[in-house]
Amino acid sequence: ALIPLVIDITNPTPRFGWRGIERTSFTDRVKPSFATWLAVLHHLCLGLGIPLAEVMALIFEISRDAVVEFVAPEDPMARHISATRQSELAPYSGELFEELANSLGTIKSKLAVSETRTMYHLVRA
């Protein structure tokens, strides 16, 4: 079954309810076998300043298999998003993305869809 979710991933629902045990947190509740992260990663890293390592850890924590779109920092949209940042950005590159992916799991396949965008199929170790 395909279940689309709309959630602020930067502020997911915590455990709540009576004594904090009535409902579990988002990351405890949601464990899909496959997830897609399209047009998400660069917004979290370049727009909100969340370190790439943290986002990658979340991707691998949430699902066993994932398709993730990596948008290079040279991409026009990536430049636009990061141009408004007032603080220093954490390291963000294709090389770091692949290094993190390989440390957390396996890059099953990758496909360049443009000069600055690549789709990755990642599998948790």
Per-position pLDDT tens, the chain of length 125: 777 878 888 988 888 898 888 888 888 888 888 999 999 999 999 999 999 999 999 999 988 999 999 999 999 999 999 887 777 788 999 999 999 999 999 999 999 999 999 999 999 98
pLDDT at position 69: 98
Q: Classify residue 20 by its DSSP letter.
A: G
pTM: 0.88
What stretches of 9-73 adopt beta strand conformation (E)?
A: 34-37, 65-71
Closest CA to 44 of 6, 92, 3, 1: 92
pLDDT at position 73: 94
Return the SS3 of 74. Answer: coil
Q: Classify residue 16 by its DSSP letter.
A: B
Q: Please report, for residues 47, 72, 83, the alpha-carbon distance to residue 95 in angstroms, rounded to integers and kept in the order given.
A: 19, 10, 22
